[in-house]
Structure 1
Amino acid sequence: MPYLQVVLTDFGGPERLELRTVEDVPKPGPGEVRVRVLVTSAAFTDVMIRKGMYPDVKEKPPFVPGYDLVGVIEALGSSVEGWSLGERVADLTTIGAYSEYICLPAERLTRVPDGVADADALAMILSAVTPYQMLHRVAKARAGQSLLIHGAGGAVGSAMLQLARDVGIAAYGTDVAAKHDLIRSFGATPIDAEADDKEAAIRDAVGDGVDFVFDPLGGESLSRSLHALKPGGMLIAFGFQNEVLGRGGSIPLDFVKLKLWDWLPNGHATAFYSIGAMRRQHPEWFKEDLATLFAMLAEGRLDPAIAEVVPLSEVRHAHERVEAGEAPGKLVMRVSE
């Protein structure tokens, strides 16, 4: 039976993403299940992968991108136990999710609770596990503390604001003015990311500083983030958007800065977070944390910001929106019904 998938033909712009027809659905091998993908997303990590700038992806085009998915089990490989046909599941695939069908190791999957919308469940996988682990596994933040996150109106940022509110942490967030109402809706204080003097704008908002800063931008933003900390605070970097978008910065140099600042006796700690590295080191944490987030979602404690749901055929447009920073929250692509 023919099915559709998106293939990245070469590293580069959105025009390198091509919708293709594949003749036969894949057959699951031992320990695998075949999943019919319901939804996937366009995230900034997908932009990095498309440009050949994501360290965890060693594959060279052509390949099928797609970092996360929610889908339905349609076939079981031999020796698979504990799973049934028709169950809804989630996974962080890194690549491969831009396809109507994919075969995955059963042990990697997490069940999606009944009553949770596909798009909302998808928003938990990459975009909520990332801030959850940074907040609780890395920063070990607690009620009464404070944080600043850059890109607060995006998928990860908006999830971080909700998680902070849930545990009683005061939150500040930088982003463009069009996303300030969204930031306020989650109980956080917005800061203009396009201010002429960005460091002054942050300083005016946070006063004597915050306990934690979460920085996906890199480059010059790292220094501003360090200066926004109160004594004893921690800077957690988790991306390199400035270099990827041609706005300065250097991924190797950013790593050196973080290591040096962490070593120097400056009263601050630094760390770099990668969801892929954390999952490789602690695979049980990923499943535990995603299950926790699904439970919070089912309880109504989280309300994911979904920017838009578009068909997979609009993948180029979706990547353009994410790369331009236009999407307020998670940009979802519907693959099948």
Structure 2
Amino acid sequence: MNDPRQASDRALMTEVVLPGIVEPAGLQVRQRPVPVPGPEQVLLVMEASGVSFAEQQMRRGKYYDQPPYPFTPGYDVVGTVAAVGAGGDTALVGRRFAVLTKTGGWASHLLVPAAELVEVPAGVDAGQAETLVVNGITAMRMLHRIARVKSGQTVFVLGANGGVGSTLVQLARRAGARVIGTASLRHQETVRELGAIPIDYRTPDLTAEVRKIAPDGVDAVFDHIGGEGIVASFGLLAPGGTLVSYGTASTRDAQGSSKLPVLKLIARLQLWNALPNGKSAHFFNIWAGKRRADAFQARLDADLTEVLTLLADGAVKPQVAARLPLSQAAEAMTLAESGTVTGKVVLVPDTAQDGHAAPSGNPE
């Protein structure tokens, strides 16, 4: 694209807009002119953007710091640079990058800061790379920077068939840890293949089932559910163990404040940290430290590059639940919320609009 300003006058892009608190069918697909990158920006052509739990919360108005409606969701994206802003590095054009966006990823084209691009290794499929952007960073940091899991330890992963959970299982096994993970009966074989010992999440006494495997408790628990169940998670820890909470899925459909469940959870974790039992409890926020932009981006670059390298080397198996075209974002959201898939649902460009073949929406 030699002159992106002229191209934007004739080219249209597609974006999905969340207009307010709606059911998935209420998502709106719109078109507008392709934007022009400004200084220090690039124009990214989306190749894959994920449907994460964050978007499920956002459509309910339950994500902690979501922007005002209307806005375009899309927590992370993988795409190819089509143009750079004035004075930008033209060597970026034509190369594939991953970006952590929080919002804006559900669009055929988007503007992102050039400084936030993380290159995807050559030969890596865009959809597979996408599953490991926010999920890979989250799992890597929780496992190694917070819980500091070591070989020979035992960890417990709630939702081991999910996007973050399945990544956690693989990274923990790679670190030499034994993994116990919850999943529905239909997903237990997949969880077992990833290397974890599966437990049905609907088991009446989940604590007792975990204790059968780890009588003295576990060294780390990774809990995305929150709510009152967090008490049981903390109780499963062995002396010196670490609880890492990274979500409040149990309150997804609850009425009221979007912030209160998170604040109550953090207060509870802080209270537990004051107890003289040698255990620790943490709430993981991927955006912590964002105010120190350079240091934040340097850590993100390092962590995401490591995860994508593991993917390129075959050390981590991506869990792509399904690929659906951008125009079917409502169907993708419905599928992601159904609890019937393993891994992450991925949005890809539409064939006619964006010039790319849209893979099948069937689970892979």
TM-score, normalised via structure 1 length: 0.95
Secondary structure of residue in 2 paired with 1:275: coil
Query: Partners in 2 of 1:204 and 1:90 — Cα distance?
Result: 41
Unaligned runs of 5+ in 1: none
Tell me the alpha carbon deviations over residues 33-62 of structure 1, each in whole angstroms, 9 at most, x when there is no partner: 0001011111111111222222232x2111
| Pairing partner for 1:18 from 22, 25, 28 | 28
Quote the residue 2:93 is aligned against: 85
Q: CA deviation at 1:135?
A: 0.7
TM-score, normalised via structure 2 length: 0.88
Q: What's the C-alpha RMSD, in Å, of the aligned pairs?
A: 1.8
C-alpha distance 186-88 of structure 1, shift in aligned 2 (>3 A): same
Superposition map of 1:48-59 within 5 A: 48-57=57-66, 59=67
Superposition map of 1:190-269 within 5 A: 190-246=198-254, 250-269=261-280
Query: Partners in 1 of 2:40 and 2:272 — Cα distance?
Result: 45
Quote the residue 1:330 is aligned against: 344
Would you identify which runs of 4 or more consecutive aligned residues in structure 1 move more than 4 Å?
278-281
* 80-89 vs 160-169, greater mean Cα deviation: 80-89
* 309-318 vs 295-304, greater mean Cα deviation: 309-318
Give the partner amino acid of 2:174. D
Superposition map of 1:96-115 within 5 A: 96-115=104-123
Matched, 1:291 2:305: yes
Query: Partners in 2 of 1:227 and 1:82 — Cα distance?
Result: 54
Quote the residue 1:313 is aligned against: 327
C-alpha distance 85-69 of structure 1, shift in aligned 2 (>3 A): same
Q: CA deviation at 1:247?
A: 10
Query: Partners in 2 of 1:79 and 1:49 — Cα distance?
Result: 36
Tell me the alpha carbon deviations over residues 71-129 of structure 1, each in whole angstroms, 9 at most, x when there is no partner: 01001102323742111011011000110110110000001111101111111101111
Query: Partners in 2 of 1:228 and 1:306 — Cα distance?
Result: 31
* 231-240 vs 274-283, greater mean Cα deviation: 274-283
Query: Partners in 2 of 1:280 and 1:184 — Cα distance?
Result: 40
Unaligned runs of 5+ in 2: 1-10, 357-364
Query: Partners in 2 of 1:283 and 1:36 — Cα distance?
Result: 21
Tell me the alpha carbon deviations over residues 159-186 of structure 1, each in whole angstroms, 9 at most, x when there is no partner: 1111011111111111211111111001
Superposition map of 1:95-244 within 5 A: 95-244=103-252
Aligned-residue sequence identity (percent) comes to 35
Secondary structure of residue in 2 paired with 1:124: coil
Secondary structure of residue in 2 paired with 1:33: strand
Secondary structure of residue in 2 paired with 1:127: helix
Q: CA deviation at 1:303?
A: 0.8
Q: CA deviation at 1:317?
A: 1.8
